[in-house]
Amino acid sequence: MQKDKSTNLKVRLPALVFALEVLTVVLYALFVTYDDHSNALHQNNMTNHRENAVYQDYPFFADIQVMIFIGFGCLLSFFRHYGFGGIAFNFLTATFSIQWAILVQGFLNFYYDGKIHLGVINLINAEFACAVVLISFGAVLGKTSPVQLLIMALLEVPIFGVTEWIVVTYLKINDAGGSILIHLFACYFGLGVTFMLYRPDLNDGHPKEITSYYSDMLSVLGTLFLWVFWPSFNCALTLRGDDQHRAILHTFIGLSASTLTAFALSAMLSKNGKLSMADVQNVTLAGGVTVGASVDMMISPVAAYALGMLGGIACMLGYKYLSPFLARRLHVQDQCGIHNLHGLTGLISSLAAICAILLASEETYGPSLYQTFSYRAPIVGDSRLEELQKQIPGLEGGLGRTSQEQALYQVAALGSTIAIAIVGGVLTGFVLRQPYLASPNDHFCFDDQPYFNIPSDQTEMIKNEKEITLQHVN
């Protein structure tokens, strides 16, 4: 092992973190100020404190915080010897990603009068960018150092931010739950990264690629936190009122259907008719993604249920048959199977949304059609807009698109998101292959030992396991 490939963090990690912190401080100092709802100067005798945006946004923000830090953190701790790595590197990466996204998205979406204007709504948006990074992290879990993870976040957040900005500003698509922008982007970016970090010797398994009883319990606890709060994730940025109401219902129904399906298929497809905790930890969540792109639409509750079932089936079959194929043939080692949980399901969700868009009519939605599908509202100046505004006073002029036109825009967004994600992921993976980034060698993958001081009970356990293995060999 060359010195420059050492996993020692004593210099590398603080050097990188402090550089990033100084950068953050400088950018905050130069550019970040309060938005109208967090600025004391904007309060006057007309201000009703109850209408401050914080009361709309904070509950959803808090729920998503639980998902990011506790849900993902526990879920990623399933390896027997990499529990510290799972929960702590998730903590580190998420914290940095959110701060970095506040700045990147700030410049792209919240910048005026020479300043980024900051409120809790920015934090929710930044959490979505963070979720992107954490999903990609799943592809390389246990095979990357914290230095590499921070650099991945450093590169992924702006690539995601620009993609999001292009899609939202120019293509204007429906994707309330982020199935396209978040899940598909994160998935293909992560696959691009892991393709570049291909480790041929790990295709035959690794002795530490195992779980323990309590790592599995903690991991399923993470799943449950994600499951419980997923409706908040899918509805946080939808229109207030009935749209948000539907988003909650559909997400809950979709998750329920994928959960039942996951249990059924886990028993059915296992050799001995027993359930696997890995399925309970992952496949149960598929429905949250498949309902995502159409989550605020009038798709009907039964469609949400069917999407959940479909998601569960696709995700399960992916784990069983596609992941091994990707690893052996395409050199894409997808550690947590994000292509199953976020890729296949994201594709299903995108197609479902296109169907829902093509079927959407004033008959079903009433005039609020032009709010949920705002690009379909007549353009400013069109007399039909004025008529509609009599029914919905606040309605803004749109782009006058037909549903068929919109379907094409959705396809365009889908394609361009995946393309940018793959290219961005591959380039990022290339950067992560550089030396000095404390990457673990194959032997120390899925192992806390290179990065953490470990309690003696765990080191004893590792010693015992080695002895058992040696006895088996002899």
Are 275 and 263 in contact by the 8 Å Cβ rule? The answer is yes
Nearest to 137 by CA among 90, 84, 104: 90
**Nearer to its own copies among residue 274 and residue 329 (C-beta):** 274
What is the arrangement of strands in the sheet containing 111-112, beginning at the earlier edge strand? 32-34, 115-118, 111-112
Query: Which residues, 6+ apart, have CB-to-CB distance to 96 below 8 Å?
Result: 20, 150, 153, 154
- CB-CB neighbours of 172 under 10 Å: 16
Which of 4, 5, 23, 59 binds its own copies (CB under 8 A)? It is 59
Tokens of 22: 């100084």
Residue 277 or 411: the one with the smaller Cβ distance to its own copies is 277
Burial class (CB in 10 A: 0-12, 13-18, 19+), 397: middle
Q: Which residues contact 421 (CB under 8 A, 6 or more apart)?
A: 159, 163, 184, 185, 186, 187, 188, 189, 192
User: Binding residue for its own copies (CB under 8 A) from 201, 241, 384, 408?
Assistant: 241
CB nearer to its own copies: pick between 425 and 448: 448
- Candidate list 1, 2, 3, 50; residue touching its own copies; CB under 8 A: 50
Sites for its own copies among residues 309-328 (CB under 8 A): 309
- Among positions 39, 169, 203, 441, the unique one binding its own copies when judged by CB under 8 A: 39
Nearer to its own copies by Cβ, of 11 and 408: the residue is 11
Residue 376 is a binding residue for its own copies (CB under 8 A): no
Rounded to the nearest whole angstrom, what is the least distance from the CB of residue 378 to its own copies in the complex?
A: 17
Distances (CA, A) of 118 to 28, 32, 103: 10, 7, 10
DSSP class per residue in 416-447: HHHHHHHHHHHHHHHHHTSTTS-PPPGGGTT-
Applying CB under 8 A, what is the total number of residues that bind its own copies? 140
Q: Which stretch binds its own copies (CB under 8 A): 191-199, 208-216, 326-334, 377-385?
A: 208-216
Restricting to residues 381-420, which ones interact with its own copies according to CB under 8 A?
Answer: 390-393
Q: Which is nearer to its own copies, 171 or 352 (CB)?
A: 352
What distance in Å separates the CA atoms of residue 445 and residue 202, rounded to the nearest whole number?
9
- By beta-carbon proximity to its own copies, the closer residue of 367 and 397 is 367
**Under rule CB under 8 A, residue 457 binds its own copies:** yes
Q: How far is the CB of 406 from its own copies (least distance, A)?
A: 17
Q: Give me the phi and psi of 115, to 5 degrees please.
A: -140, 150
Quick note: the x/- pattern for its own copies over 325-364, rule CB under 8 A, is ---------------------------------------x
Of the pair 329, 472, the CB lying nearest its own copies is at 472
State the alpha helices, DSSP H only, in 301-378. Answer: 301-317, 323-329, 338, 345-359, 362-365, 369-372
Least distance from C-beta 422 to its own copies, angstroms?
Answer: 30
d(CA 374, CA 401): 9
Q: By CB under 8 A, is residue 423 in contact with its own copies?
A: no
Under rule CB under 8 A, which residues in 147-206 are in contact with its own copies? none
CB 110 within 8 A of CB 264: no
| Min CB(129)–its own copies separation in Å | 14
**CB closer to its own copies, 139 vs 316:** 316
Find the binding residues for its own copies in span 8-27 (CB under 8 A).
8-11, 13-14, 17-18, 20-21, 24-25
Which of 137, 185, 195, 305: binder of its own copies (CB under 8 A)? 305
Q: Provide the minimum distance between the beta carbon of 418 and its own copies in the complex, in angstroms, as a whole number.
A: 30
Q: Which is nearer to its own copies, 47 or 169 (CB)?
A: 47
3 state SS of 34:
strand
d(CA 3, CA 5): 5
Residue selected from 151, 180, 186, 298 as contacting its own copies according to rule CB under 8 A: 298
- Return the residues of window 79-118 that contact its own copies according to CB under 8 A: 80, 83-84, 87-88, 91-92, 95-96, 98-99, 118
Residues in contact with 276: Cβ distance below 8 Å, sequence separation at least 6, in sequence order? 266, 270
